[in-house]
Amino acid sequence: MKRSLALLVILAVVACHRERRPLAPAAVDSQRPNPLRMGDLQPGPKQLAATGINNPYEGNAYAISEGQRLFAQYNCSGCHFHGGGGIGPPLMDAEWIYGSSPVNIFTTISEGRPNGMPSYGGHIPVYQIWQLTTYVRALGGFEPKGATSPRSEEMMAKRAEEPK
Amino acid sequence: MTELAVLPPDFAKEAAIMEKTWASKPGVIGWLSETGHKQIGLRYIVTAFLFFLAGGIEAALMRIQLLKPENHFLGPDAYNQIFTMHGSTMMFLFAVPIMEGFGVYLVPLMLGTHNVAFPKLNAFGYYIYLFGGLFLYTMFLLHAAPQAGWFSYVPLAGPQYSPGKGVDTWAQMITFTEVSGLVVAVELVVTTFKQRCPGMSLNRIPLFVWSMIVVSFMIIFAMPAVMIASGYLSLDRLVGTHLYNRSEGGDPLLYQHMFWFFGHPEVYIIFIPGLGFVSSILTAFTGRKIYGYTAMVSTLVVTAFLGFSVWVHHMFATGLPQLGESFFTAASLMIVLPTGVQIFCWIATIWSGRFRIATPVMYVIGFFLVFIVGGLTGVMLASIPIDWQVHDTYFVVAHFHYVLIGGALFPLFGAFHFWFPKWTGRMYSEVMGQISFWLLLIGFNVTFFPMHVLGLYGMPRRVYTYQPGMRWGNLNVLASAGAVFMALSVLTMIINFLVSRRAGRVAGANPWNADTLEWSLPSPPPVYNYLHVPTVSGLNAVWDAAPDQPYVTGMRFDRREILITRVLDAEPDHTEQLPGHSPWPFVLSCTMCIGLWGAIFFAWWFTIGAVLSGIALIGWFWPSDRELEDHILREKGELGGLELGMPEPVREEMP
Amino acid sequence: MTASTLAPIQSALHSAGPQAASIEHLWWVFFWICVVVYVITIAFFFIAAIRGRRRAEAVDNPAHDRRLGIFVSTCAAVTIATLFGLLFSSVATGNAIGTFGKNKPGQIEIEVTGHQWWWEVKYPDALAPANQITDANEIHIPIHTPVLLRLDTRDVIHSLWIPNLHGKRDLIPGRVNKFWIQADRPGVYRGQCAEFCGYQHAHMALTVVAESSADFLKWKSHMGEGAPTPMTPAQLRGQQVFLSAPCAKCHNILGLDAYGTLGPDLTHFRSRPTLAAGQLLNTRGNLAGWIMNAPAIKPGTTMPPNQLSGQEMSDLLAYLETLR
């Protein structure tokens, strides 16, 4: 009896990261990641690569759902359509020009990329960039299936062809 | 050869053999292998009551949050989970299962048989219900509770607007509880039509049993609708179908139609057994049969039919064509009539009976006072223009609590007190019973009556808070205060029962001088119910019994044998043997639980669960050694018992 | 901080228009009939109970049962008659309301689109579509004029309910529900969303201002004007803050290079009585708090918090002040 009670308490405390719903984003969600270093030279002692936040919303269903909303509202679908690509590259295939890790995608959205990807940093809050990052990763299949919704309430675009 | 004969009263040896045949097995495995209907029925009742307490705590949390405007006790996320859990718990995990539990416990006793028709299925129904409730509450503890309300409208409950596994949990919980409901419905129908004791023709079936038959048929027709509604919702959320996605040709209103086609009969499924309780209690406490038996039975049947024709009254504000909606106004008004006739028949019975007062009857009086208010506000809601104003407001909350608490809970608490002596062999404390009744009556009205006014004054439902200056504050404080009385009432009742179980006055077989067959048994009844299958000579089995009322002999005591009778007039037909203990119902529930729970995360769990369930079913149907032996003996003609054919029931004297 | 002093009596029993008045009338008819039925039924019950208490022996014979039968049949017949009466009165009222605005000249049409958790309001102009007026969380209507509301939603099911004027109608994706309202008394009426729509369903209110035709036309023409040009340096700086900060991504201001359609139109928003769909009074302090951290006030809202320095905020507020 006592053991099951302890288990219940632990379960309740740990809860479930997927089911966290931060309706008012916490400070930790607004931290920018450490820069993705493109070379070896640093002015001063080398900073550890692993510091800085990775993705506070990894595996979080609410963030993916918000990211889906923002993807449409900020007109990412204008170039990337619903993940299938068009003017911009597809987000559902296996090819990630600038990398598929959360920090890579965050940087892509925040700083922009050559050939047409605008830089959203400073225009939208950092936590929203994290939500978009998580949604884009979900489009690419990197997020747990349990946290990702299989469809939206809108007209569906066809999925991109599977890579060979 | 069956003989109906007057026999000397001492059957100690036979009783000992019967005890052994029907005995429960000890230990955990024994508990999990139990197939006796009284044990399973009591488990349903106790489990459902625990869920009732959980739902009550959720309600208390809601009332604390609504005490003052812009309160910060619960945020919107928590509040939305809690009101969804409150509704889902009360509707799916308390109200229907507790009525099923009473049916499972009482119906075989009232019919004069030893067990329900399918004992292993009965046990399975309980376990699958238990697992469904545990599933929902475990997900609640993991912060993955559903948040879209107990009826979970799309598109809010759809894949885009309800992220996470909450709504999937809700939809799957429905699967667990609807399977449980269907199981009980099917077995009660078969038990009632095929296992009545000789003499209990259709027009002598007790009114409570009629209410359970009617409810069972309603379950059989209504549950598939919610199965489809929630199944489609699961498909949309997990598989990516577009059944409710308007942009791709689906329709959110489809969900509402399918859900309410189930949802409205659901509330009648909850409240019709309450009507059965009222008939049972009033028969005992007026000392005469309920006036108008034919009318009482036909109104139950008519209510059941009409209950399927009113569902659009939940959708009057959706903009459906008004002419079509008006038909549902007519049907929703018409459904008042059969229940009204029941009420008039009860009044007639009370008028002409010798009316005694005790706690069960006080609760029945509470039923009249409270339910009729709810019925009348239902008449108001049936009118489309009025509904347009009060739909989705606290007026509706008041209405359905008046009909559900008045129509189901008050009779249920009356039934608890009424059958308590039969279950435990002891009387509860009458003083505490009265206290718990008055606390409930006062507390309920203080809580819910102001909600009528709140609704008319503009307060919508499902709001986690409200603005100051809306003139809703004082009425909300009143409503929250009444909840305290209701909690005290339930607490008093629980203490009453826990203490009286050990320390109450010994009750004897029939402390109320009631009329149905279970009151002819000692309290608590033997594990086998009746040593010999009884017969009845009239509608009121105990009152109409002759001093030398015949009973059936010639059945075996060393087998779980039941008597199967004919549907119309309950003439004896043949005997059948029921299975004994079996762990397979529990095992099947586990495998199904694995399949259903896992399926909301990963589809292959469904297949794994199905394969495991197939194995469990093989185990379930594998004949035991005794069954094999008996089969061989029967083939050889050496088994004994009733012959097939029509033995003449022989009576010594006609009353 | 809240809309307390503003809220009028949002009540179905304080009708200010013909539909609400018919419903209120029907309600009282039903109410009194139900009260009478209840009193009579409970009286019968208690009379029966008292009679039953006085009996020494239960009576159960066919002769007595025949008298009981007359009682039950009479009650049933009276019930049927009453139900029919209620049915006819309900259907008649429903028909009158349902066909209220048909073929009435001089109607106003308003499109209301539900969002999580605010109301988008448009006054379409059939003759000159470019003159459509976009507003949020408030409706102005002239008194004594039928107003056709077309209801649509951008996301989930909502329900528009202005109890002083009419019953509610759901906003369902993929359907355009239409119904007429009319106010016969000038005043400010409050409406609220009445279908559970998510986290902030409780804070999705709407203000209806019913005024004379002259006032209404004045308001409408003012709404058609763009935002005034900023005059003071603070206002100019504030306009720049608006354009460069996230504001312009979501909000529209007529006359400015800001075409956001995701959030409420802000062209004249300082003239509205409330902010955040009825949750806050429209004061400078509340506005500042809302801009700084909307999710802290209305958890779940799609308006994000904004990190603005003190100077930026005061400039922005100065600019927003002009949007009346």
Report ipTM for this prediction: 0.95
By CA distance, what is B155's nearest residue in A? Answer: A153
Cα angle: C93, vertex C94, C96; to 5 degrees: 65
What is the model's pLDDT at position C101? 78
In a domain, A89, yes or no: yes
Of the two residues B63 and C125, the one the predictor is more confident about is B63
What is the model's pLDDT at position B515? 95
Across residues A83-98, what is the average pLDDT?
Answer: 89
Q: Could B470 and C10 be called an inter-chain contact, meaning their C-beta atoms sit closer than 8 Å? A: yes
Partners of A25 on chain C (C-beta within 8 Å) are 295, 304-305
Residue C284: name the closest of C255, C322, C249, C254 by CA: C322
Q: Which amino acid is at B17?
A: I
What is the spatial distance between Cα C148 and Cα C178, in angstroms, rounded to a whole number? Answer: 7
Contact predicate B189/B213, CB 8 Å = yes
| B458: nearest CB among C11, C60, C94 | C11
Q: Could C299 and A125 be called an inter-chain contact, meaning their C-beta atoms sit closer than 8 Å? A: no
What is the spatial distance between Cα A53 and Cα A26, in angstroms, rounded to a whole number? Answer: 13
Residue C26: name the closest of B124, B356, B254, B385 by CA: B385
Q: Could B470 and C22 be called an inter-chain contact, meaning their C-beta atoms sit closer than 8 Å? A: no
In the block, which residue shows the tokens 């609708």?
B225
Best of A148, A153, A156, A159 to mutate (most B CBs within 10 Å, chain B): A153
Q: Could C249 and A24 be called an inter-chain contact, meaning their C-beta atoms sit closer than 8 Å? A: no
In a domain, A29, yes or no: no
Contact predicate C156/C238, CB 8 Å = no
Residues of the domain holding A106: 61-144
What is the spatial distance between Cα C204 and Cα B309, in angstroms, rounded to a whole number? Answer: 34
**Which residues of chain B are modeled with pLDDT < 70?**
1-9, 639-655
What is the spatial distance between Cα B313 and Cα B332, in angstroms, rounded to a whole number? Answer: 7
The dihedrals phi and psi of A98, each to the nearest 5 degrees, come to: -110, 20
B289 to chain C, closest Cα gap in Å: 8
Number of H helices, E strands in chain B: 21, 2
Whether the CB of A127 is below 8 Å from some CB of chain C: the reply is yes
Q: Could B385 and C34 be called an inter-chain contact, meaning their C-beta atoms sit closer than 8 Å? A: no
What is the model's pLDDT at position B272? 97
Q: How confident is the model at residue C1 (pLDDT cuts 50, 70, 90)?
A: very low
In a domain, A83, yes or no: yes
Entry pTM: 0.93
DSSP state of A112: -
In a domain, A25, yes or no: no
- CB pairs below 8 Å between B and C: how many? 267
What is the model's pLDDT at position C98? 86
What is the model's pLDDT at position C14? 92
Partners of A69 on chain C (C-beta within 8 Å) are 302
Q: Could C86 and B392 be called an inter-chain contact, meaning their C-beta atoms sit closer than 8 Å? A: no
Q: Which residues pair with C112 in a beta bridge?
A: C121, C151
B163 to chain A, closest Cα gap in Å: 5
What is the spatial distance between Cα B72 and Cα B75, in angstroms, rounded to a whole number? Answer: 6
Residues 150-169 (C) with a CB less than 8 A from some CB of B: 151, 155-157, 159, 161, 163, 166-169
Q: How confident is the model at residue A39 (pLDDT cuts 50, 70, 90)?
A: low
Q: How many CB atoms lie within 10 A of CB B485?
A: 18
Give the rounded distance of the alpha carbon of B487 from its chain centre: 22
What is the model's pLDDT at position A84? 84
Whether the CB of C170 is below 8 Å from some CB of chain B: the reply is yes
Cα angle: B549, vertex B550, B554; to 5 degrees: 155
Q: Strand pairing of C138-142 and C205-211?
A: parallel
| A23: nearest CB among C246, C262, C300 | C300
Q: Which amino acid is at B440?
A: L
What is the model's pLDDT at position B655? 37
Tokens describing residue B474: 């004082």
Whether the CB of A37 is below 8 Å from some CB of chain C: the reply is no
In a domain, A110, yes or no: yes
**Is residue A146 over pLDDT 90?**
no
Contact predicate B608/B145, CB 8 Å = no
**CA atoms lying within 13 Å on the CB side of residue C85:** 11
Whether the CB of C202 is below 8 Å from some CB of chain B: the reply is yes
| C305: nearest CB among A73, A123, A125 | A125
Give the rounded distance of the alpha carbon of B652 from its chain centre: 41
Most confidently predicted of B632-636, C86-90, C228-232: C86-90
Helix (H, G, I), strand (E, B) or coil at C240: helix
What is the model's pLDDT at position B616? 97
Contact predicate B565/B194, CB 8 Å = yes
By CA distance, what is A120's nearest residue in C? Answer: C246
CATH code for the domain of A105: 1.10.760.10
C280-306 per-residue burial string, b: 16 or more CB within 10 A, e: under 16: bbbeeebbbbbbebbbebbbbbbbbbb
Cα distances (angstroms) measured from residue B602 to each of A145, B128, B173, B357, C281:
8, 20, 16, 57, 48
**Is residue C116 over pLDDT 90?**
yes
Q: pLDDT tens for residues A125-143? A: 999 999 999 999 999 999 9
What is the model's pLDDT at position C42? 97
The chains found to touch C (3+ Cβ pairs under 8 angstroms) are: A, B
In DSSP notation, B290-317 reads: PS-HHHHHHHHHHHHHHHTS-GGGG-GG
What is the model's pLDDT at position C258? 74
Domains: count for chain A: 1
Q: Could C69 and B292 be called an inter-chain contact, meaning their C-beta atoms sit closer than 8 Å? A: yes
Residues 187-246 (B) with a CB less than 8 A from some CB of C: 246
Residues 105-164 (A) with a CB less than 8 A from some CB of B: 145-147, 149-156
Partners of C299 on chain A (C-beta within 8 Å) are 23-24
Whether the CB of C225 is below 8 Å from some CB of chain B: the reply is no
Q: How confident is the model at residue C105 (pLDDT cuts 50, 70, 90)?
A: confident
Best of A30, A120, A123 to mutate (most C CBs within 10 Å, chain C): A123
Radius of gyration of chain B (CA): 25
Q: Could C30 and B380 be called an inter-chain contact, meaning their C-beta atoms sit closer than 8 Å? A: yes
**Is residue A158 over pLDDT 60?**
no
Q: How many CB atoms lie within 10 A of CB B456?
A: 23
In a domain, A131, yes or no: yes
Q: How confident is the model at residue C8 (pLDDT cuts 50, 70, 90)?
A: low
Lowest mean pLDDT among A16-25, A96-105, B156-165, C187-196: A16-25
What is the model's pLDDT at position B652? 40
Q: How many CB atoms lie within 10 A of CB A9?
A: 11
In a domain, A76, yes or no: yes
The dihedrals phi and psi of B74, each to the nearest 5 degrees, come to: -130, 135
What is the spatial distance between Cα A157 and Cα A18, in angstroms, rounded to a whole number? Answer: 26
| C60: nearest CB among B253, B289, B467 | B289
Tokens describing residue C164: 């002083």
Helix (H, G, I), strand (E, B) or coil at B551: strand
In a domain, A33, yes or no: no
Residue B626: name the closest of B560, B565, B563 by CA: B560
What is the model's pLDDT at position B2? 45
**Is residue A78 over pLDDT 80?**
yes
What is the model's pLDDT at position B640? 60
What is the model's pLDDT at position B106? 97
Q: pLDDT tens for residues C161-186? A: 999 999 999 999 989 999 999 999 99
B277-302 per-residue burial string, b: 16 or more CB within 10 A, e: under 16: bbbbbbbbbbbbbbbbbebbbebbeb
Contact predicate B73/B101, CB 8 Å = no
| B355: nearest CB among C44, C52, C179 | C52
What is the spatial distance between Cα B612 and Cα B588, in angstroms, rounded to a whole number? Answer: 8
What is the spatial distance between Cα B346 and Cα C72, in angstroms, rounded to a whole number? Answer: 10
